[in-house]
Amino acid sequence: MGSHSVQPPVPIPTPTTPAGREGLEAVLARPGRAVIALDFDGTLADIVPDPEHARAHPGAVEALAALAPKVASVAVITGRPAGVAVRYGGFAGVPGLDHLVVLGHYGAERWDAATGTVQAPAPHPGVAEARAELPGVLHEFDFWRGTWIEEKGQAVAVHTRRAPDPRAAFETLRGPLGELAARHGLILEPGRQVLELRPPGMDKGVALESYVAEVGAGSVLYAGDDLGDLAAFAAVEKLRGGGPDGIPGLLVCSGSAEVPELAERADLLVPGPAAVVDFLAALADQL
């Protein structure tokens, strides 16, 4: 009779910084106190021309379901509405994801797997006002064709990825859309070929820091891919910089070509959502 060999576990990539290695060691040593926080688009889901077609990468839910029961919590922190991220991610009703939370609109909304419900504030009135003016602004700069307006409830975004010259459209619209946001009490959040107008006061850093405190985490891992994730990176740097009371943390950048600002701050670079999923699966295997 033949014998079956047991496959060795896939190794976890080694962070390139001392702080990152300390953060990973803390997660591995005390997983029950670790918060695993993840962006959605570009991190758990591939970037696609039409944001309505984004879906979690194959294997993402399986990896999260294997990891979540072994850690304090898994939190998806996204600029999308919480309910949309849940739907596109396929997170609802998955065994093992009982303690998953989705912090949507940079933390303004919250979906808990335990209840299956979304908590959300009333929309900022400036969002509807700015949305009404957007077509005129885009027509004025002759970038109507190829741009895409995404309704986000608590925010509104203009995508330039499908424009004939995405970068030129992005740079040309950045100033006028910033002025439009300011007129209506909003802020402009630039991203990967997207300009988002949203209310001030919430960002991924505020959301992450608040959630880490709520959970009483002893370590935190954050993975992201875009400019909006810089605030979360800064929050982890702040948390782990608190001397003896600091919380070890690991910063993971998903892909690095489009957003070098994030890659330069990361402890670990992985080439996109497929590699993020492999990393999460390897982490679950070793816990």
What's residue 142's pLDDT? 67
- pLDDT level of residue 36 (50, 70, 90 thresholds): very high
pLDDT score of 162 more than 80:
yes
* pLDDT of 198 higher than 60: yes
- The set of residues, in sequence order, having a beta carbon less than 8 Å from that of 6 and lying 6+ positions away, is none
Sign of the alpha-carbon torsion through 16, 19, 23, 26: positive
- Per the CB < 8 A criterion, the answer to whether 162 and 147 are in contact is yes
- Is residue 39 annotated as part of the catalytic site, yes or no? yes
Listed in sequence order, the residues at least 6 apart from 1 whose beta carbon sits closer than 8 Å to its beta carbon are none
pLDDT at residue 143 in the model: 59
Strands 73-77 and 156-159: unpaired
% of the chain beyond a pLDDT of 70: 95
> Does pLDDT of 5 surpass 60?
no
Residue 241 pLDDT level (bands cut at 50, 70, 90): confident
Q: Which helix (H) or strand (E) holds 75?
A: strand 73-77
The residue type found at 281 is A
The pLDDT-based confidence of 3 (bands split at 50, 70, 90) is: very low
Q: CA–CA separation, 205 vs 233, rounded Å?
A: 7
Average pLDDT taken over every residue of the chain: 91
Considering only residues 36 and 7, tell me which one the structure prediction assigns the higher pLDDT.
36
> What strands lie across the sheet with 156-159, from one edge to the other?
148-151, 156-159, 194-198, 187-190
Q: Give the residue from 175, 153, 174, 149 showing the smallest Cα distance to 162.
A: 149
Q: What confidence tens digit (pLDDT) does each residue in 44-94 have?
A: 999 888 778 899 999 999 999 999 999 999 999 999 999 999 999 999 999
Burial 249-278, CB ≥16 within 10 A → b, else e: bbbbbbbbeebeebeebbbbbbebbebbbb
Structure tokens at 19: 């702080």
Residues 177 and 158 sit within 8 Å (Cβ to Cβ): yes
Q: Which residues are paired to 270 by β-bridges?
A: 254
pLDDT for the residue numbered 243: 67
pLDDT of residue 154: 86
Predicted confidence at residue 7, as pLDDT, reads 56
Q: Which of 39, 41, 226, 229 is catalytic?
A: 39
DSSP 8-class letter at 88 = H
Tokens of 100: 């998953």
247 φ, ψ (degrees, to nearest 5) = -110, 120
Q: What Rg, from alpha-carbon coordinates, does the chain have? A: 19
User: Is the Cβ–Cβ distance between 77 and 38 less than 8 Å?
Assistant: yes
Question: Which pLDDT score, from 0 to 100, does residue 285 have?
Answer: 95
Both structure tokens of 253? 């950048």
Phi, psi (degrees; rounded to nearest 5) at 270: -130, 145
Type of residue numbered 287: L
Q: What is the pLDDT of residue 52?
A: 83
Bridge partner residues of 196 (DSSP): 157, 189
213 CB neighbour count, 10 Å cutoff = 11
Residue 224 has pLDDT above 50, yes or no: yes
Summarize pLDDT for 120-137 with one digit per residue, the tens.
888 889 999 999 999 988
Could you tell me the two tokens for 211? Answer: 């959630």
Rounded CA gap, 98 and 74, in Å? 10
Distance from chain centroid for Cα 105:
10
- pTM summary value: 0.83
